[in-house]
């Protein structure tokens, strides 16, 4: 139920803001707006504006919306109101009205990011878990537990301070998308010396950039202590004599740096016979114990893995990330711009085959993330709204004839040639645009079903 409510609220807010952008600029340009609709299909609610010109509607299907303006192409217009028809407006006004929807979504993202930056939020500290063997982070020298201080992209003159783990992942993703290597500086636990290492993110471009490629960076989870939490009765952890609060230092003579690495060792019981029976070196109340653990082998969507029936790994160290009012706005503008550029770059890479089409997401994935973010609190839900608002703004600016960006392309042609696109070509381009949009939606829906269905 939470997922459905969060999804509908998100769609309603984003569509309302988008259409309000069209509506507000149309009114400011002197165009008569006949209907402002949130949703499609049968109206559920109707009311009139103060001057009884615009009919406001909330419709049954919350999957879109529209602003219907006075226009000679859609019906007869009284002579006395011709000057208020959309099609009679100068090119600049028509372009401004069309562009106002996507821009409203981008401005909403700026506002939401600003609020979160100003109020502040707790985020995991930029301490990295032990990177899997062979990943770029492991090759750079990271072992687990290091506190990353800064990131400097190849060719940049200055290093950028890292505020949190999410900030670190974002900067590494940016480096990968720009085809640049990243120099990290960090401190190891209990040491004051600063270490510098190169994460070769530029190499990810060679095999095509997708989620699997980004996992090769090896910075996926923040560091957590290798401590045990709740123990399930009758499971291998209880049978072995493990207790909540046990700190694990070694497994089969392999050092354990954090909770993520301990979980990896437990899972390994299903794939490596020598790990089927494990000897754990555990610290309990200041004493060191050796405990034999035999994980169960279970089947999951990811294949066979080992499990012990215990909560593995403590909570990560947290840090409050908060900015002043002006700094919050500056950071929000920068974040919105970066996410917009990131979205365009990813779309371009998918178009030329450098990124997988599996990165396309549809309504099912969005609904799933809406529910998950809402369950994590208001701040995460607001960040989710900001991200989707940017995506909606960027998507609508794409030069597809059925989208706002397509209409802007028509106006660009009109501005260059001095005459509008002919009705014949408009109809042809509309068909092409609808076809491309249907293909994109089909791929996105297929990806949704594949992800959620395992």
Q: Which residues are catalytic?
A: 19
Token pair recorded at residue 176 = 């990968």
Three-state secondary structure of 361-383: CCHHHHHHHHHHHHHCCHHHHHH
Neighbours of 433 (CB within 10 A): 18
Under 8 Å between Cβ of 386 and 378 = no
Under 8 Å between Cβ of 300 and 96 = no
Of residues 415, 431, 315, the one with CA closest to residue 94? 415
Q: Is 30 left (phi over 0), alpha (psi -120 to 50) or beta?
A: left
Token pair recorded at residue 392 = 């909606």
Of residues 1, 16, 131, the one with CA closest to residue 385? 16
CA distance 34 to 21: 15
* Beta strands 247-251 and 278-284, pairing class: antiparallel
CA distance 127 to 137: 13
Distances (CA, A) of 320 to 30, 120, 121, 153, 261: 47, 6, 6, 25, 26
CA distance 226 to 245: 10
DSSP string, 265-331: HHHGGGT-GGGSSEEEEEEETTEEEEEEE-PEEEEETTEEEEE-SEEES-PPPEEEE---HHHHHHH
Token pair recorded at residue 221 = 């989870």
Instruction: Assign 429 to helix, strand or coil.
Output: helix
Of residues 195, 169, 176, 174, the one with CA closest to residue 184? 195
CA distance 202 to 357: 21
Under 8 Å between Cβ of 268 and 306 = yes
């Amino acid at each position: 139920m939470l997922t459905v409510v969060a999804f509908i609220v998100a769609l309603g807010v984003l569509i309302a803001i988008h259409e309000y952008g069209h509506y507000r600029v149309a009114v400011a340009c002197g165009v008569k707006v006949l209907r402002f609709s949130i949703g499609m299909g049968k109206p559920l609610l109707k009311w009139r504006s103060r001057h009884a010109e615009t009919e406001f509607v909330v419709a049954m299907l919350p999957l879109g919306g529209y602003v219907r303006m006075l226009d000679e192409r859609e019906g007869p217009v009284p002579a006395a109101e011709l000057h208020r028809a959309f099609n009679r407006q100068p090119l600049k006004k028509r372009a401004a009205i069309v562009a106002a929807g996507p821009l409203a979504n981008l401005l909403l993202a700026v506002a939401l990011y600003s609020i979160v930056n100003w109020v502040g939020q707790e985020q995991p500290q930029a301490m990295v878990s032990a990177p899997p063997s062979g990943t770029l982070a492991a090759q750079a020298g990271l072992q687990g537990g290091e506190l990353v201080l800064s990131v400097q992209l190849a060719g940049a003159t200055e290093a950028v301070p890292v505020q949190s783990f999410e900030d670190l992942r974002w900067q590494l993703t940016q480096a990968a998308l720009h085809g640049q290597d990243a120099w990290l500086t960090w401190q190891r636990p209990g040491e004051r010396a600063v270490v510098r290492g190169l994460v070769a993110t530029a190499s990810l471009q060679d095999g095509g950039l997708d989620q699997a490629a980004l996992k090769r960076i090896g910075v996926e989870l923040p560091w957590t202590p290798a401590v045990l939490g709740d123990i399930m009765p009758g499971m291998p952890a209880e049978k072995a004599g493990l207790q909540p609060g046990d700190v694990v230092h070694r497994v089969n003579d392999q050092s354990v740096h954090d909770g993520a690495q301990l979980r990896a060792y437990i899972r390994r019981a299903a794939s490596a016979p020598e790990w089927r029976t494990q000897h754990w070196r555990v610290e309990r109340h200041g004493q060191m114990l050796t405990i034999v653990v035999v994980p169960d082998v279970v089947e999951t969507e990811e294949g066979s893995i080992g499990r012990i029936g215990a909560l593995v790994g403590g909570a990560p160290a947290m840090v409050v990330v908060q900015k002043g009012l002006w700094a919050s706005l500056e950071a929000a503008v920068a974040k919105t711009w970066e996410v917009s550029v990131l979205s365009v770059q990813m779309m371009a890479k998918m178009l030329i085959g450098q990124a997988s089409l599996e990165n396309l997401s549809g309504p099912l994935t969005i609904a799933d993330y809406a529910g998950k973010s809402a369950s994590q609190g208001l701040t995460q839900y607001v960040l989710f709204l900001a991200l989707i608002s940017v995506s909606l703004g960027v998507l609508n600016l794409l030069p597809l004839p059925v989208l706002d960006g397509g209409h802007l392309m028509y106006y660009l042609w009109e501005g260059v040639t001095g005459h509008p696109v002919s009705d014949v070509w408009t109809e042809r381009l509309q068909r092409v645009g609808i076809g491309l949009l249907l293909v994109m939606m089909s791929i996105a829906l297929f990806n949704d079903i594949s992800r959620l269905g395992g």
